[in-house]
Every structure is written in C-alpha cells, then in structure tokens.
Amino acid sequence: MSKQEKEPLFSAKNMKLLTAPFGQNNPITVQILGICSALAVTAKLKPAFVMALSVIVVTGFSSMIISLIRKGIPNRIRIIVQLVVVAALVILVDQVLKAFVYDVSKQLSVFVGLIITNCIIMGRIEAFALGNKPWPAFLDGVGNGMGYGMILIILGFFRELLGSGTLWGYPVLEKIGLYNIGYVNNGLMILPPMALICVGLIIWFQRSRNKNLIEK
C-alpha cells in the first residue's frame, strides 16, 4: 500500500464526524436510536448528565478499540467480539460510578448495564468503526455519544424543571416564588410517556427548522 498523506488530527472531515451528530445526524432525533434509555433516566438532570457522560466514554473507546483490531476480527463472529469489548467498557464505567457517585448509580440502576444494548453503540461500530481508522472512529463515537447526551440533558432539564420544580436538586421554582401564586408541578412530566412526547417535540422543532430531514 502506498503511503498516504498524513491528515491533520482535527481536519475538516474529522471535525464533521464530531459535530454532525449534534444536528443533521443526531442519534436520537434523526436516527431514532437509544430512545429507551432517553425515556428512563431523564426524570432528573443529574442522572441524565451522568448517563450522557457514561455513554460518551463507552461509544468513543469501543469504536476506537474495535477500529484498532478491525483487521483481525473474523467477519462471522464480529458481533460477539464487539459485545465483549463494549461489555468490558460498560463494566468499567459501572464500577467507576459505583465508587464515586453511588447515589446516581442507584438511580440509573440497570440502565448503566443496558448501555451494552444501546443501539447507538453497536450501530456506530457496525456502520463506521469497522471500516475506518482508530482516530476518526474515536471522534465518530464521541460525537454520537455527545449528540445523544445533548438530547438527554435537554430532556432532563425540562422534565426536572416542570415535573419537580428543581434543577440539579436546587428548588428553582420555590425560590422565585411561583408556588405562592398557585403554580403546581406537573406529575406527568416525571412519567416516561411524557418524555416520549418531549422527544417528539424536539424532533418536530428540529425538522421544522431543517426541512432536509423531512422524509418524502
């Protein structure tokens, strides 16, 4: 193979891998992947944030590791190899969470373990990491993790604010005196169905601004 020209680390192409998942190619609102955890962990802002961080770590490193060994993986057993890598990373993340933020880890419960089955991770490995070099694969993984995390944090923000009247546990609405004029928290916001509706509203908002995303 001829020696290719060395690409700068943050070339325009690589930056695009990182930023596309925020808008044009968002895993949740455009690819409609990873919905289940987005509904389950976003009742409060803090677990949503921790979950986002965990997924970013797992997607980034799993894509990179798979990309590193992509030429050695026999095609027929690639899924099981991918699963081993992802599972190992998830267990690492789980242990770190249990050690340092035990209360959030309790709230997230099984959903940390279920990162293994998060469609975004397997999707990016299959679609991108298996055919690309480690560095772009890492950026792609991190980008998709961040696109996912962004939606989680938006959802967590609105659901906690409207459902519990707090932000990161701080009673915002009580401090500005909204309850004194008869305001009441909306219990529906804490329930998962409303999270689904909120995701729908975000998709609506995004598509009305970006007409390219509307299917014919």
Partner 1 sequence: MKRLRELIDKIKPNFEKGGKFEKLHSTFDAFETFLFVPNRVTRSGSHIRDCLDLKRVMIVVVVALLPALLFGMYNTGLQHFRAMGVADASVWTCFWFGFLKVLPIIIVSYVVGLGIEFISAQIRGHEVNEGFLVSGMLIPMVMPVDIPLWMVAVATAFAVIIGKEVFGGTGMNVFNPALLARAFVFFGYTPYISGEKVWVAGLSNGTGVVDGFSGATPLTDAASAVLTKADQVQWTHGAPIDWFLGTIPGCIGETSTLAILIGAVILLWTGIASWRIMLSVFAGGYLTGLLFNLIGANAYMDIPAYYHLIIGGFAFGAVFMATDPVTASQTNTGKFIYGFLIGFLAVMIRVLNPGYPEGMMLAILFMNAVAPLIDYYVVQANIRRRNRRLKLAK
- Chain residues binding partner 1 by CB under 8 A are 182, 184, 186-189, 191, 197, 200, 204
Q: Tell me the HSE value of 151 on the side-chain side, using a 13 A CA sphere.
A: 35
Nearer to partner 1, 5 or 215 (CB): 215
Residue type at 166 in one-letter notation:
T
For residue 164, give the nearest of 133, 134, 186, 146 by alpha carbon. 186
Does residue 149 come out as left (phi exceeding 0), alpha (psi in the -120 to 50 range) or beta?
alpha
Q: Closest CB to partner 1 among 80 and 184?
A: 184
The minimum distance between CB 199 and partner 1, in angstroms, equals: 12
CA distance 100 to 98: 6
For partner 1, give the closer residue by CB, 131 or 187.
187
CB of 178 to partner 1, least distance (A): 12
Question: Which residue type, as a one-letter code, is found at position 176?
Answer: I
Nearer to partner 1, 81 or 213 (CB): 213
How far is Cα 192 from Cα 124, in angstroms, rounded to an integer?
26
Q: Output the smallest distance, CB 198 to partner 1, in A.
A: 10
Task: Please say whether the beta carbons of 59 and 121 come within 8 A.
Answer: yes
Beta carbon of residue 14, minimum distance to partner 1 (angstroms, whole number): 38
